[in-house]
Amino acid sequence: MSEESALREQICLLAKSLFDRGLTHGSTGNISARTEDGGLLVSPTGTSFGRLDPGRLSRFDASGAHVAGDKPTKEMPLHTAFYDTRNTAGAVVHLHSCHSVALSMLPGADPDNFLPPLTPYGIMKLGKVQLLPFFLPGDPAMGEAVRGLAGKRSAVMLANHGPVVAGKDVEAACNAIEELEDTARLALMTRGMQPQGLTEDQVRAVVTKFDVAWDD
């Protein structure tokens, strides 16, 4: 099996795992990954994560031209914004995951640091998550908002919409976006209960030990 064929299979396998566990639903969500030649494989528009076909993924060449496969997701501006501004981005995942969307609609969120520091793992895998305002689905302004962060964030939360995470590869991106959703779930479960999250000193210790980009 060629490297690209293996990547196609991996994208579909991980997408189905996310779908099967309810992290996105229907035909929501999109996923992309860098190919060995600098191009992209992208989930097509209107497709379900539970039923992606490896042979029908949208294929882009290194210049950004759509060269094969079905029509890509309308959220391409989001994906290309991460690839263009973060040289470490090897994959991008966007979900409509329930708990993170719910948390984005509640008052009191810090736009510069959307997730509360409840466990070390959200910090380790995501750094600070930027909360972006609501945009209409497919609006290129979402990509411009990501570009405005100048590559300083690996994850953003689109208010009333869903999270978007870039990772070094497709497995890392999927793991990180799952951590985002689980942290949001914990935040909702403990909301109003005065949970004992990590202290500033504990957060700093995690940031230092795991070399997390945090102060940008």
Integer Cα distance of 96 and 181 in angstroms: 10
The length of the chain is 216
Instruction: Return the exposure string of 152-175: e unless at least 16 CB atoms fall within 10 Å of the residue's CB, then b.
Output: ebbbbbbbebbbbbbbeebebbbb
Among the listed residues 75, 178, 179, 181, the single catalytic one is 75
Helix (H) or strand (E) holding 142: helix 141-147
DSSP 3-state of 60: strand
Q: In sequence order, what are the residues at sequence separation of 6 or more whose Cβ sits closer than 8 angstroms to the Cβ of residue 137?
A: 74, 75, 161
Q: Which of 152, 147, 177, 157 is nearest to 109 (CA)?
A: 157
Backbone angles phi, psi at 94, to 5 degrees: -130, 125
Respond yes or no: is residue 36 known to be catalytic.
Answer: no
Q: Is residue 121 annotated as a catalytic residue, yes or no?
A: yes
Options 4, 9, 83, 121, the catalytic residue = 121
Catalytic residue positions? 75, 121
